[in-house]
Amino acid sequence: MEQALRDRFRTELNAAQFEAVFHDDGPLLVIAGAGSGKTRTLTYRAARLVEEGHPPESILLLTFTRKAAGEMLQRASQLLDARCHQIAGGTFHSFANTILKRYAAALNFPNGYTIIDRPDAESLIGYIVKENMDAPKLGAFPRKKTLADIYSKMANKDAPLEDILDMEYPHFLPHLDALREIQDAYTDMKKQQALMDYDDLLNNLWLLLDQHPAIRERLTARYRHIMVDEYQDTNRVQARIVQLLAGNHHNIMVVGDDSQSIYSFRGADFRNIMDFPSLFPDTRLITLEENYRSAEPILALTNRLIDQAIEKYPKTLFSNRGGSNSPQLIHTGSENSQSRFIVDKIMALADQGIPFSDIAVLFRAGFHAFDLEVELTREGISYVKYGGFKFMESAHIKDMLAYLRILCNPYDRLSWVRILLQINKIGPKSAQTLYDHICRQKQGLRGFLEDQSKLATKPDVQRLKDVLATIDDATLSPGGQGEHILAYYLPILKQRFDDYPKRTRDLEQLLAILETYESLESFLEDMTLEPPTTTVSGAFGTVGDREDHLVLSTVHSAKGLEWHTVFILWALDGRFPSLMATENDGQLDEELRLMYVASTRAREQLYFMCPGQVYDRMSGMLLSQPSRFLADLPEGILERHAGNLW
DNA sequence: AACCAAAAGTTTTTT
DNA sequence: ACTTTTGGTT
């Protein structure tokens, strides 16, 4: 490496980081505590590999979100040069999609498959239950949402149906056989219609690597250096994929922190991190324990917090930073006084010159922030909200996407039924008849356009044919297609939703995104794999990064980020930890890690908010105690104050 | 067969 | 508060 750059790296990295960055070939495990410069280490290492002559496209960087990958490559480019943008990066799911698109045929799967999201999967399962299970069901039978949950857990935890039922749904054990039947039918249905759900992407990538040595070798020859971020949140399938990708070269670096594992509900297992050295026997272990983020009093609290975990691998973060502001627990009377306290504090911080974008309010669940959102809007404070409400899953967006989806995949039953049901006097039966005709014809979209049956020649159906015929035109851009669809769909929208003005704006936003794409396929893939998840002051928008917005976020979506001041909403026992998680130690530990992730986001000031006296209607309990995780912390670590007590 | 209204059951986090 | 299921009417 060029000496000047090497010197620069030496001054900008600490000893442990430097060691990791300059680690050569072979397996490397980096245990990186919160705020210890994990991202920095990854970007510097990527830049270093490129600088030393490794072709950027031979480096694979797997991260938790595509945004994280993009930011890392951006930073690496600034460090070195634009070559770093050529590094292959993304999430496990998007990487799987890239590979499967090319090799799907090897798995006897059509190349032009469609990726379905969770609600789609639920609807498909719903069809199966309705059509194949006509016998009246004895006792409580799981709803389609629960069925989708169960099947997804099986895939993510790599466990048989019995085990999942035993552990989490013992009351459904009598239906074991039926559940198995439904799952088989679901698998068949996906194959017939060329559909893959999120879990299929990972599973099929693993199958491909495992059963096709020639393809595996081609891939391991292509990706000579692999780096995986947030390794504590990978599941069994992902760990096996990593193992196969490492092939014979074993140039695999994984980075993670067992204390920040917060996705076990999705099958993630932080033991993956601990098992890594036994998977790769000559693993080098580097630990990053110096925290550069948080002021001393915050670090003192977070260290005490994570000490309470029942199962843990001890480590204590240290810092050379001073700081005088102790974390505070603020008791307020009602939910609204909690919101008012935060609004007042934010105004005061703004007066001190802290930008809104350097302040965050974090919460356990999206709806916990509703009252605060009202209050912020009233005060005219603009904010961005991450997590919670899923824009892509709202009915009008899914409607719009359905029209685009049948252009890519004319046998997509879900989308056909969805758009046919919007036509007057067409219900489930007629929709099915029309769809069956399309499948029988095997002529793609023409099967519908040229259907001359009585049903298909009704004036209302004819209007749909007309618009589909117009947009089925290779010379039209995706944006142009979208405009035609919107013109057709808007009257339907007005008839079906009384809040159509808001929804119309959403659709126009979607159209604006669509216009930035060259191909419909990649638009649809992106909308499923990495959907826009933010809302700007209540209305969805392409986030103007330049603007100075306050950040509201679920703890899960706040992963990896940091702010000057952090407020944690509802640090109330029963909310955080959630009442549902207080039954067993494993779940309780995860809630604790979640609280740990939330509090380690703060650099200078940390507030826990605790409104008293909330009635929880699900359990019938009155919640009034602060979070059990905070209860035993001494006053020197956590100051208790009364906020607004009305 | 489609449509509509009333009733019942659920309630986190996300690719 | 919200979605999904149900039963009854057109």
Which pLDDT tens digit goes with each residue over A443-457? 989 999 999 998 888
Closest residue (CA to C1') to nucleotide B10 in the complex:
A618
Query: Measured between alpha carbons, how far is residue A195 from residues A314, A410, A491, A511 in Å?
Result: 44, 12, 30, 24
Proportion of chain A above pLDDT 90, given as a percent: 54
For residues A109-124, give the mean pLDDT.
87
pLDDT tens-digit readout, A457-472:
888 899 999 999 999 9
Mean pLDDT of all residues in A102-122: 88
Segment A556-561 mean pLDDT: 90
pLDDT at A312 over 80: no
> Which has the minimum average pLDDT: A569-573, A595-599, A601-605?
A569-573
- Contacts for A74-81: CB closer than 8 Å, 24+ residues apart: A75/A39, A75/A43, A76/A43, A76/A44, A76/A46, A76/A47, A76/A50, A79/A43, A79/A44, A79/A47, A80/A5, A80/A47, A80/A50, A80/A51
Determine whether A637 is exposed, middle or buried from the number of CB atoms within 10 Å of its CB (0-12, 13-18, 19+): middle
For A541, the token pair is 């928008």
Spatial distance from the CA of A190 to the C1' of C5 (Å): 26
A190/A104 Cα distance (integer angstroms): 14
Look at residue A645 in the predicted model and tell me its pLDDT. Answer: 61
- Cα torsion A147, A153, A155, A158: sign: negative
Residue A98 is predicted with a pLDDT of: 94
Cβ neighbours of A3 (radius 10 Å): 7
Which among A338-352, A378-392, A571-585 has the top mean pLDDT?
Answer: A338-352
Give the confidence band of A100 by pLDDT, cuts at 50, 70, 90: very high
Contacts of A597 (CB under 8 A, 6+ apart): A34, A260, A262, A555, A558, A559
Kindly compute the dihedral angle of the four CA atoms of residues A622, A628, A634, A640, in this order, to the nearest 10 degrees: -40
Of the candidates A59, A63, A101, A93, the residue with the CA atom closest to the CA atom of residue A237: A93
pLDDT of A424 reads 85
Ramachandran assignment for A229, one of left (phi > 0), alpha (psi -120 to 50 degrees), beta (any other): beta
CA atom of A151 to C1′ atom of B1, Å: 33
Residue A64: nearest nucleotide (C-alpha to C1') = B15
Mean pLDDT over residues A410-424, rounded?
89
Q: Is the pLDDT of residue A138 over 70?
A: no
**pLDDT tens string A187-238:** 998 988 889 999 999 999 999 999 999 999 999 999 999 999 999 999 999 9
Output the distance from A569 CA to B11 C1' rounded to whole Å: 19
Interatomic CA–C1' length for residue A87 and nucleotide C6, angstroms: 55
- How long is the CA A361 to C1' B3 vector, in angstroms? 45
Interval A315-340 mean pLDDT: 86
Q: Cα separations (Å) of A71 from A67, A77, A155, A256, A564? A: 6, 10, 30, 18, 20
Q: What is the pLDDT of residue A3?
A: 85
Q: In the prediction, which pLDDT does A204 show?
A: 95
At residue A480, the pLDDT reads: 93
Strand partners for A575: A578
Which of A82-96, A133-147, A556-570 has the weakest average pLDDT?
A: A133-147
pLDDT given at position A468: 93
Q: Are A398 and A405 within 8 A, CB to CB?
A: no
Mean pLDDT computed over every residue of chain A: 88
User: Which positions in strand C are less than 7 Å from the protein's CB atoms?
Assistant: 4-5
Is A538 a residue whose pLDDT tops 70? no
Percentage of chain A modeled with pLDDT above 70: 96
* pLDDT confidence band for A137 (50 / 70 / 90): low
Q: Which of A135-139, A262-266, A580-584, A642-646 has the highest mean pLDDT?
A: A262-266
Q: Which residue is nearest to nucleotide C4 (CA to C1')?
A: A143
Which pTM does this prediction carry?
Answer: 0.91
Q: Which nucleotide has the least CA–C1' distance to A144?
A: C4
Average pLDDT over residues A60-69: 89
Bases of chain B with protein Cβ within 7 A = 1-3, 10-15
Contact A516, A482 (CB under 8 A): no
